Structure 1
Amino acid sequence: MATIEAADIADITNLLKRERFHRDTAQWDSCRAAFHPNAPLTYINVAWYEGDVKDFLRRSAKVHQGKVNIIHSSFDPVEIRVRGHRATSEAFCQVTSSLTIGDIDYELASHMRLATRLEKSLDSNQWYILSLEAIYVRDRLVSTFPGSSAASQLTMTQEVQAYPKSYRHLAFVMLNRGLKPRPDLPHEDDQESVRRVLDRNRAFLDGAEEEIVKG
């Protein structure tokens, strides 16, 4: 039994890492293959999107810039729990991206926890991602050329300041890109929102009905 679980953990780790790499490099078909074949059963909740994987990938492809920009680095699934054909995973992750504002180049770095639910197909013996939820920890926005006086000219509007500190710089960048993140995302300064995500995952692992997937 221990050998089987170790093999499952290795398969899940590999699956989760491949999915992030394929998403960053715009390999949409490979990214889709990591998720459950039945799209309505899937659930993704990140800063700019909430819904199933089909629409997530469609919108991701639409806004992709044609080159690698967003990178999920330091991604290491460590808290993987397997129970029968169900599993959950947690991982710390740093997401970086570059942007230019007023002729000044910046880099955004957002630190988060990614919580995932997975299901193993009884037919193919293959693991699939059912849900992916981000819990925001902290972020920063820095000039790629330290000491640039123009960088200090950035100001946060009241709209940006209304966002939680855990992902305020991310919100600033997303608003600059024409996106509007939700102000009620799970984040570390709101431990109740964190508990809701983790409690749903525990309930799923304990055998709750499939509708628990969408929380």
Structure 2
Amino acid sequence: MKSLAIALVALAAAFAAPAAMRADSLREGTDSMTAKSEIAELVNNWGFWRDRERWPELASTFHPGGTISISWYDGPHEGFVEASKMIAAGGAALLKHQLGVPSIRIEGARAVSEVNVVIMVRSSAPFGMVDTTSHARFVDMLEKRDGAWKIRKRVAVYEKDRIDPVDTTALPASLFEGLDAFPAELRFLAASMKRGGIELSKTVVLDRSAEMKALYGEADAWLAGQ
């Protein structure tokens, strides 16, 4: 009888172990899906709050000390929010971000998100209104602190852009003069910015560049806890 009892206990343990492992795996999967959902909402809210000029909410998407590097700005997120306020107050351009579904990787309390974004700017030129459309990606390094996922660092990677007339049938030839002074990936955006008195950032990251490869390396190292 004693040997039978031992055998039954061993058998029960053999069945219990896989069940416990399955429960742990299910819990980890649920936690991961919850974290990815929270991060995806945060990424989407960034674009919505920027376009709706909801500045306190926009600032809340970053952790203290968070940074952002885009076509016209590179530095602390607080400075970006304040500069965005000034641009919006000038009323010279209408801005819209269309974001896709982010690809998210998570390791513990750290995450990396990458999302496609189309940045549309309507602005005035001497010959009429124009739409400048830029295709880019936002690469975010995020961290969970005090129970909340927020951005530690955001970098935009620029792929291509174009410009279209709004209230005229064609663009004048003069608009295409001097474009070679700017990178091909965002030449129309950079030229439009220059007309508005905004210089292209010296740290702008272009698609398939050495800076892009270094950014991905930094993101991988961040995710690994380095």
Does the TM-score normalized on the shorter chain lie above 0.5?
A: yes
TM-score (ref. length: structure 1):
0.86
| Aligned residue runs from structure 1 range 61-76, under 5 A | 61-65=85-89, 69-73=94-98, 75-76=99-100
Unaligned runs of 5+ in 2: 1-27
Number of the residue aligned with 1:163? 182
Equivalent residue of 1:107, what SS? strand
Higher-Rg structure is 2
Q: Out of 149, 159, 164, which is 1:142 matched to?
A: 164
Q: Out of 179, 202, 206, which is 2:220 matched to?
A: 202
**8 Å CA contact retained: 1:135, 1:194:** yes
What fraction of aligned residue pairs are identical, expressed as a percent?
24
Following the alignment from structure 1 to structure 2, what is the Cα–Cα distance between the partners of residues 195 and 146?
40
| Aligned residue runs from structure 1 range 82-101, under 5 A | 82-101=106-125
**8 Å CA contact retained: 1:116, 1:131:** yes
TM-score (ref. length: structure 2):
0.82
Shift of 1:174: 0.3
Following the alignment from structure 1 to structure 2, what is the Cα–Cα distance between the partners of residues 70 and 185?
19
Shift of 1:103: 3.8
Following the alignment from structure 1 to structure 2, what is the Cα–Cα distance between the partners of residues 136 and 48?
12
Q: Which has the higher helix share?
A: 2
**8 Å CA contact retained: 1:115, 1:134:** yes
Number of the residue aligned with 1:5? 32
Question: 1:127-148 CA distances to partner (integer Å, 9 max, x unpaired)?
Answer: 1111110000000011024633
| Aligned residue runs from structure 1 range 163-202, under 5 A | 163-182=182-201, 185-188=204-207, 190-202=208-220
Q: Out of 99, 116, 121, which is 2:140 matched to?
A: 116
Number of the residue aligned with 1:81? 105
The alignment yields a C-alpha RMSD, in angstroms, of 1.7
Shift of 1:154: 2.9
**8 Å CA contact retained: 2:128, 2:168:** no
Equivalent residue of 2:103, what SS? coil
Unaligned runs of 5+ in 1: 209-215
